[in-house]
Amino acid sequence: MSSFHTLSLTELAQGLRARRFSSVEVTGSFLERIERHQGTLNAFISITREAALAQAAAADRALAQGTGGVLTGVPIAHKDIFCTEGVRTTCGSRMLDNFVSPYDATVVSRLKAAGAVTLGKTNMDEFAMGSSNETSFYGPVKNPWNTALVPGGSSGGSAAAVAARLAPAATATDTGGSIRQPAALCGVTGVKPTYGRVSRYGMIAFASSLDQGGIICASAADAALVLREMAGFDPKDSTSVDAPVPDYVGELGRPLKGLKIGLLKEFFEKGLDRAVEQRIREALAIYEELGAQLTEVSLPHLPLSVPVYYVVAPAECSSNLARFDGVRFGHRCENPRDLQDLYRRSRGEGFGPEVKRRIMTGTYVLSAGYYDAYYLKAQRVRALINEDFIRAFKSVDVLIGPTTPTPAFELGAKTSDPITMYLNDIYTIGANLAGLPGASIPCGFVGELPVGLQVVGPHFSEARVLQVADAFQRQTDWHTRVPKAFA
């Protein structure tokens, strides 16, 4: 049987437990698909074939003995920002091209403990800085729906891999929309949990107060299964929140009657593609049929989220990336004349243009003469955006709107204009600034290209966000659609 890619992650997990097929068969099938399509999509940086088959064989032994976890034998991929013991972890950068991690990130170790098999590491924007997966040192990822288009970023490799069914699921990270935006452009389901819900230990930092690990799958039901294993308190992460993790799978299927959905007024104003808006309106009509009540909500400070983000995130990036100095690990220039030459050339050679741009911006806004004018002001506006969300959630259960203003755009279309590129995250950044959970789910097409619907909930309401996403997917089949070339 070579059609394992047509099964959902949940179906694969159930089939493996019932011994209808083996993990070695499933893993081998996905590895073959990856190798066949890697040249077209460039979705992976590293493919761990031998290790994956060894893990699969161990999973089969555990299943035969009646032991193992919920995900035993299920193959997944990891975004190349998560440290993986004995495997290269590059962050899509020349700076870490030779870095082999000596330990596993908590997300990786938890999914290993649940029995998941690692297929490899997915391509990404360099150090997660980008909205199109074009800043990677290893070249751009292509969108499976049209390989002339971007898949979104920074988790574009994970989104493309799941969309093309090269993996049933892939881990991802979201700093300003980097799970939800590529999920929308690739027609898959992406879930960003509440800040602090999933450990950041071993997840190489870009902007520490914004970064959050999450998951990309075909459906919300699959995402609930994986997130349940990923989430939870981690004493190794000082930002991890010690709060019980609900049974996300068990919470699915509850009726939506009486659910109050807030429509973000600011999301439906200028800038939104009319055809995308039409798909969102059609999805909202389905929610009304399911018994939900729609009401317009305004977050007056939300339009300021992009300028706030592009002060706060570069400031934190400037601080976090100072560690890459050519001394301890990562790229080191040849024959440095002195210590200053070592720093300058190692960083100059190791970082790409977008990373350099953000480091310089961040260093500027943190400098003595500009800290109050930019960084402090941005943090104050960030607090106002958070208060807007808190006020909105007093009258509604979730907020719904578009994930992106347009469908996927052409490779190279926005690389020369960073501001236009940054505006592609206009609908997703607010949830990061406030630390809220959010998901993007497929809700239709504009021509041949998928459109994403975004659901955002109050802090630690992942169960509700997943329930709302799953209810829509029980009524529609958009999440089951696969690009023709990969069906």
The residue type found at 361 is: T
pLDDT along the chain (487 residues), means of 10: 88 96 98 98 98 98 93 98 98 97 98 98 98 97 98 97 98 98 98 98 97 98 98 97 96 96 90 95 98 96 94 96 94 96 97 96 94 95 97 98 96 88 90 98 98 98 98 98 95
| Sign of the C-alpha dihedral computed for residues 247, 453, 478 and 468 taken in this order | positive
How many Cα atoms within 13 Å fall on the side-chain side of residue 263?
16
Q: 358-371: per-residue pLDDT in tens?
A: 999 999 999 998 99
CA distance 111 to 214: 12
Name the CATH topology of 4-259. Answer: Amidase signature (AS) enzymes (3.90.1300)
CA distance 39 to 37: 5
Angle between helices 274-289 and 462-475 (to 10 degrees): 90
Cβ contacts of 344 within 8 Å, gap of 6 or more: none
CA distance 239 to 235: 9
Q: Which residues pair with 88 in a beta bridge?
A: 100
Q: For 177, left (φ over 0), alpha (ψ -120 to 50), or beta?
A: left
Residue 373 burial class via C-beta count within 10 angstroms: exposed 0-12, middle 13-18, buried 19 and up: exposed
Q: Which two tokens stand for residue 412?
A: 């190279």
Asked if 465 and 261 touch (Cβ cutoff 8 Å), the reply is no
CA distance 342 to 340: 5
The residue type found at 139 is: G
CA distance 388 to 301: 7
Which helix (H) or strand (E) segment holds residue 33: the answer is helix 23-41
CA distance 160 to 144: 6
User: In b/e form, how buried is each residue of 222-234, taking b as 16+ CB within 10 angstroms?
Assistant: bbbbbbbbbbbeb
Asked if 415 and 278 touch (Cβ cutoff 8 Å), the reply is no
Asked if 88 and 41 touch (Cβ cutoff 8 Å), the reply is no
How many Cα atoms within 13 Å fall on the side-chain side of residue 461?
20
Question: Residues 322-325: contacts with CB within 8 Å, 24+ apart?
Answer: 324/95, 324/96, 324/350, 324/351
CA distance 118 to 56: 9
Residues designated as active site? 79, 154, 178
CA distance 368 to 476: 54
Cβ contacts of 93 within 8 Å, gap of 6 or more: 126, 127, 137, 350, 351, 352, 355
Which helix (H) or strand (E) segment holds residue 310: the answer is helix 305-320
CA distance 413 to 410: 5
Question: How is the chain split into domains, by residue range?
Answer: 4-259
Which helix (H) or strand (E) segment holds residue 60: the answer is helix 49-64
Strand order in the sheet with 449-456: 44-47, 117-122, 75-79, 169-174, 212-217, 189-192, 438-446, 449-456, 398-402, 260-264, 293-297
End-to-end CA, the chain: 15
Q: Which two tokens stand for residue 198?
A: 């999933």
Asked if 258 and 290 touch (Cβ cutoff 8 Å), the reply is no
CA distance 214 to 379: 25
